[in-house]
Amino acid sequence: MTIYVDADACPVKAEVERVGTRHKVPVCIVSNGGIRPSANPLVRTIVVSDGPDVADIWIADRAGQGDIVITGDIPLAARCVEGGAQVLKHNGEALTPANIGNILATRDLMADMRAADPFRQGGGRAFSKADRSRFLDALERAVRKAAQP
């Protein structure tokens, strides 16, 4: 079991490290750079070259059955779910074979709507303490599930 973190713009890196350490699970923090390496021997900081989706490709090529992936990137999540990994968004929402198709379709629809109306304003809501708490609970459950034979 390994926990892979799509680290660019990830607000829960410290929480992942804490849970990984508690359960003695290796963690790979993957980014294009700008992430301070951890002194924790269970945490590897992987810096990939600049370019679109390079970190996503690195993670998708490695994550599989028994692994956990932390990402807000829906196409990456879809690839990892297809490969058998458990996937969590930063707010603790699980992306599974049962829901990833609808989530991917909604993402694509919203991208089309934004492209059709370039003056459309707005964005996601702020990351909250409740989101962080839900994430920690979901990660604990995911680690326990992955540890089961």
Please write the tens of the pLDDT for every residue from 35-86: 899 999 999 999 999 888 899 999 999 999 999 999 999 999 999 999 999 9
Residue whose entry in the numeric block shows the structure tokens 């829906």: 74
Residue 104: HSE in the Cβ half-sphere, 13 Å Cα cutoff: 16
Is residue 94 within 8 A of residue 87, CB to CB? The reply is: yes
CATH of domain 3-118: 3.40.50
* 92 neighbors 137 (Cβ within 8 angstroms): yes
* Candidate from 10-14, 25-29, 89-93, 124-128 with smallest mean pLDDT: 124-128
Rounded CA gap, 71 and 97, in Å? 16
